[in-house]
């Protein structure tokens, strides 16, 4: 069985790589690989996580932090909001229902196709745009708020350019909030079992995690930055860092996402939330 553009799928429905490595991966290679991967993985990913994400809900992270409780974006009613890396766009629909004027952007046509279906199913029609986070097709100073819940930033090679683009489209004083993989995840095995909390690689190894096909071409790329890297990237893009949030596991939450689990979440952080604004 194969997905879009003949990307082979495993028995779980996700793209099945032929190899895994740590090596450099530039902007074009990362974008091409991740667009192809998410196009193919969209059905399996949403079948696995769609219920937890919801159709009209704003989940920041696997720990269970929701915007309805956290209010990291503040009052969104009447505000122009850009979501970067919207996936099937449940966050954008939640924002629209809360009174925001929303544009939802993603690199993956497969994810946006599902978002369009859910727009029709929920009756909440948010505009959907296919574009790269490093080249936003919006006018400068055209949005009041921007957000990204694990969308785009972990997968781009040049995060400085992506953050500068977000700063460009924000109006002065506009807020940008993004959740990303906590850098503490990088040195540990990709397992939800707390018994696997042993260092297997260097926290300071910035080489991307790359999955490849039979010909050695990248089919999935995830980039690593340390906490300091994230802070410098935010400041370098002209944004003011207001807070770094490390969500704790929500009481009573049992959902596992990859290496995120209640047992592991009780011991180490899995998500970093960057709360910023344009000066």
pLDDT tens, the chain, 279 aa long = 444 457 899 999 999 999 999 999 999 999 999 999 999 999 999 999 999 999 999 999 999 999 999 999 999 999 999 999 999 999 999 999 999 999 999 999 999 999 999 999 999 999 999 999 999 999 999 999 999 999 999 999 999 999 999 999 999 999 999 999 999 999 999 999 999 999 999 999 999 999 999 999 999 999 999 999 999 999 999 999 999 999 999 999 999 999 999 999 999 999 999 999 999
Give the pLDDT score at 4: 41
DSSP label at residue 16:
-
And the tokens for 141?
A: 């100073």
Q: Is 77 helix (H, G, I), strand (E, B) or coil?
A: coil
Give me the number of domains the chain comprises: 1
Show the domain range for 256.
4-278
Q: What is the CATH number of the domain that holds 83?
A: 3.40.50.150
Give the pLDDT score at 2: 42
Contacts of 39 (CB under 8 A, 6+ apart): 3, 4, 5, 7, 108, 109, 110, 111
| Pair 114, 42: CB distance under 8 Å | yes
Question: Residue 3: what are its φ and ψ, rounded to 5°?
Answer: -100, -160
């Amino acid at each position: 069985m194969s997905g879009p553009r003949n990307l082979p799928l495993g028995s779980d429905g996700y793209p099945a790589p032929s190899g895994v490595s740590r090596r450099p991966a530039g902007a074009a290679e990362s974008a091409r690989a991740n667009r192809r991967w998410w196009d193919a993985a969209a059905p399996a990913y949403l079948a696995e996580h769609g219920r937890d994400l919801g159709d009209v809900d704003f989940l920041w992270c696997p720990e269970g932090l929701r915007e309805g409780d956290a209010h990291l974006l503040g009052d969104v009613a009447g505000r122009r909001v850009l979501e970067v890396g919207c996936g099937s766009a449940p966050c954008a629909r939640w924002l629209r229902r809360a009174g925001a004027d929303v544009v939802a952007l993603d690199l993956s046509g497969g994810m946006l196709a599902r978002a369009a279906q859910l727009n029709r199913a929920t009756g909440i029609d948010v505009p959907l745009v296919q574009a790269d986070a490093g080249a936003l097709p919006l006018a400068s100073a055209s949005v009041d708020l921007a957000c990204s819940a694990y969308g785009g930033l972990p997968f781009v090679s040049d995060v400085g350019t992506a953050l500068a683009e977000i700063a460009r489209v924000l109006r002065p004083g506009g807020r940008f909030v993004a959740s990303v993989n906590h850098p503490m995840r990088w040195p540990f095995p990709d397992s939800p079992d707390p018994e696997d909390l042993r260092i297997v690689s260097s926290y300071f190894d910035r080489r991307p995690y790359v999955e490849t096909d039979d010909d050695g071409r990248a089919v999935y790329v995830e980039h690593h930055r340390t906490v300091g890297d994230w802070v410098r990237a935010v400041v370098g893009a002209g944004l003011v860092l207001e807070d770094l949030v490390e969500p704790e596991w929500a009481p009573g939450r049992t959902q596992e996402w990859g290496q995120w689990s209640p047992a592991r979440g009780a011991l180490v952080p899995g998500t970093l939330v960057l709360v910023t604004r344009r000066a």
